[in-house]
Amino acid sequence: MFYFFRIYPIEGASKEDAIIYVSILFSLAAVDGTDSKESDAVKNLVINNGWDSDIIELALEKKNITIESLNLSDEFIQIVGPYLIRDLCAIAHVSNGFSNVEDEHINSIRIKLGISEEKYLNIKKAVSSQIESIINWSKVISN
Protein backbone atom coordinates (compact mmCIF):
# COMPACT_ATOMS: atom_id res chain seq x y z
CA MET A 1 0.00 0.00 0.00
CA PHE A 2 2.65 2.51 0.93
CA TYR A 3 4.38 2.24 -2.47
CA PHE A 4 1.37 4.12 -3.74
CA PHE A 5 2.82 7.33 -2.34
CA ARG A 6 6.14 7.32 -4.19
CA ILE A 7 5.08 9.66 -6.98
CA TYR A 8 4.91 13.41 -6.48
CA PRO A 9 3.83 15.58 -9.40
CA ILE A 10 6.09 18.61 -9.03
CA GLU A 11 9.81 18.63 -9.63
CA GLY A 12 11.66 21.20 -7.62
CA ALA A 13 8.76 21.96 -5.31
CA SER A 14 9.69 24.11 -2.36
CA LYS A 15 9.69 22.89 1.20
CA GLU A 16 6.71 25.16 1.90
CA ASP A 17 4.83 23.50 -0.99
CA ALA A 18 5.45 20.11 0.61
CA ILE A 19 4.41 21.37 4.05
CA ILE A 20 1.11 22.69 2.70
CA TYR A 21 0.45 19.55 0.66
CA VAL A 22 1.10 17.31 3.67
CA SER A 23 -0.95 19.60 5.91
CA ILE A 24 -3.96 19.14 3.62
CA LEU A 25 -3.49 15.36 3.76
CA PHE A 26 -3.30 15.44 7.57
CA SER A 27 -6.50 17.53 7.63
CA LEU A 28 -8.30 14.70 5.86
CA ALA A 29 -6.86 12.12 8.23
CA ALA A 30 -8.30 14.09 11.15
CA VAL A 31 -11.73 14.86 9.68
CA ASP A 32 -13.34 11.67 11.01
CA GLY A 33 -11.01 11.12 13.92
CA THR A 34 -7.28 10.59 13.80
CA ASP A 35 -6.34 7.12 12.64
CA SER A 36 -2.76 5.97 13.08
CA LYS A 37 -2.81 4.12 9.74
CA GLU A 38 -3.75 7.32 7.91
CA SER A 39 -1.17 9.32 9.79
CA ASP A 40 1.49 6.70 9.04
CA ALA A 41 0.56 6.78 5.34
CA VAL A 42 1.04 10.55 5.20
CA LYS A 43 4.38 10.23 6.98
CA ASN A 44 5.36 7.51 4.52
CA LEU A 45 4.65 9.87 1.63
CA VAL A 46 7.17 12.31 3.10
CA ILE A 47 9.77 9.59 3.61
CA ASN A 48 9.30 7.96 0.19
CA ASN A 49 9.67 11.28 -1.57
CA GLY A 50 12.89 12.03 0.28
CA TRP A 51 11.51 15.24 1.78
CA ASP A 52 13.00 16.72 4.95
CA SER A 53 11.73 14.79 7.96
CA ASP A 54 10.70 17.99 9.75
CA ILE A 55 8.00 18.53 7.11
CA ILE A 56 5.77 16.19 9.11
CA GLU A 57 5.96 18.29 12.27
CA LEU A 58 5.71 21.57 10.35
CA ALA A 59 2.63 20.31 8.49
CA LEU A 60 0.98 19.23 11.73
CA GLU A 61 1.53 22.73 13.12
CA LYS A 62 -0.29 24.35 10.19
CA LYS A 63 -3.85 25.07 11.19
CA ASN A 64 -6.79 26.40 9.23
CA ILE A 65 -5.26 25.69 5.83
CA THR A 66 -7.97 25.82 3.21
CA ILE A 67 -7.78 25.55 -0.55
CA GLU A 68 -9.08 29.13 -0.80
CA SER A 69 -6.38 30.46 1.54
CA LEU A 70 -3.64 29.11 -0.70
CA ASN A 71 -4.45 31.37 -3.68
CA LEU A 72 -3.33 28.65 -6.06
CA SER A 73 -2.71 29.51 -9.69
CA ASP A 74 -4.82 27.86 -12.36
CA GLU A 75 -1.68 26.16 -13.70
CA PHE A 76 -0.81 24.75 -10.28
CA ILE A 77 -4.36 23.46 -9.78
CA GLN A 78 -4.37 21.87 -13.22
CA ILE A 79 -1.12 20.02 -12.52
CA VAL A 80 -1.40 19.21 -8.82
CA GLY A 81 -5.17 19.09 -8.29
CA PRO A 82 -5.71 15.53 -9.54
CA TYR A 83 -2.70 14.29 -7.56
CA LEU A 84 -3.99 15.93 -4.40
CA ILE A 85 -7.41 14.32 -4.87
CA ARG A 86 -5.68 11.00 -5.61
CA ASP A 87 -3.62 11.18 -2.43
CA LEU A 88 -6.63 12.24 -0.36
CA CYS A 89 -8.56 9.23 -1.70
CA ALA A 90 -5.64 6.94 -0.91
CA ILE A 91 -5.40 8.27 2.65
CA ALA A 92 -9.13 7.68 3.07
CA HIS A 93 -8.70 4.07 1.91
CA VAL A 94 -5.93 3.34 4.41
CA SER A 95 -8.41 3.00 7.25
CA ASN A 96 -10.73 0.53 5.51
CA GLY A 97 -12.36 2.80 2.99
CA PHE A 98 -14.01 6.16 2.80
CA SER A 99 -16.19 7.39 5.58
CA ASN A 100 -19.03 9.67 4.51
CA VAL A 101 -17.24 12.56 6.22
CA GLU A 102 -14.02 11.87 4.29
CA ASP A 103 -15.89 11.65 1.01
CA GLU A 104 -17.67 14.95 1.72
CA HIS A 105 -14.36 16.58 2.65
CA ILE A 106 -12.58 15.36 -0.50
CA ASN A 107 -15.58 16.30 -2.64
CA SER A 108 -15.55 19.85 -1.25
CA ILE A 109 -11.84 20.16 -2.11
CA ARG A 110 -12.53 18.71 -5.55
CA ILE A 111 -15.19 21.36 -6.17
CA LYS A 112 -12.88 24.16 -5.00
CA LEU A 113 -10.18 22.88 -7.35
CA GLY A 114 -12.61 22.83 -10.26
CA ILE A 115 -12.23 19.10 -10.84
CA SER A 116 -15.34 17.65 -12.44
CA GLU A 117 -17.42 15.03 -10.70
CA GLU A 118 -16.64 12.64 -13.57
CA LYS A 119 -12.88 13.07 -13.01
CA TYR A 120 -13.40 12.62 -9.26
CA LEU A 121 -15.23 9.34 -9.83
CA ASN A 122 -12.45 8.20 -12.17
CA ILE A 123 -9.79 9.13 -9.61
CA LYS A 124 -11.67 7.22 -6.89
CA LYS A 125 -11.97 4.19 -9.17
CA ALA A 126 -8.30 4.35 -10.18
CA VAL A 127 -7.17 4.61 -6.55
CA SER A 128 -9.37 1.68 -5.51
CA SER A 129 -8.09 -0.42 -8.41
CA GLN A 130 -4.47 0.43 -7.70
CA ILE A 131 -4.79 -0.36 -4.02
CA GLU A 132 -6.58 -3.62 -4.79
CA SER A 133 -3.79 -4.54 -7.22
CA ILE A 134 -1.10 -3.78 -4.65
CA ILE A 135 -2.86 -5.90 -2.03
CA ASN A 136 -3.39 -8.78 -4.45
CA TRP A 137 0.19 -8.64 -5.70
CA SER A 138 1.54 -8.66 -2.16
CA LYS A 139 -0.43 -11.88 -1.57
CA VAL A 140 1.20 -13.42 -4.62
CA ILE A 141 4.76 -12.61 -3.62
CA SER A 142 4.42 -13.31 0.09
CA ASN A 143 4.78 -16.77 1.58
pLDDT in tens, 32-58: 776 788 888 888 888 887 888 898 899
Residue 2 falls inside a structural domain: no
Residue 8 falls inside a structural domain: no
Q: What is the mean pLDDT of the chain?
A: 80
Residue 106 falls inside a structural domain: yes
Q: Evaluate whether 8 touches 17 at the Cβ level (below 8 Å).
A: no
Residue 7 falls inside a structural domain: no
- At residue 111, the pLDDT reads 92
Instruction: Print the domain residue range for 58.
Output: 13-141
Q: Which residues contact 66 (CB under 8 A, 6 or more apart)?
A: none
CATH number at residue 62: 1.10.3680.10
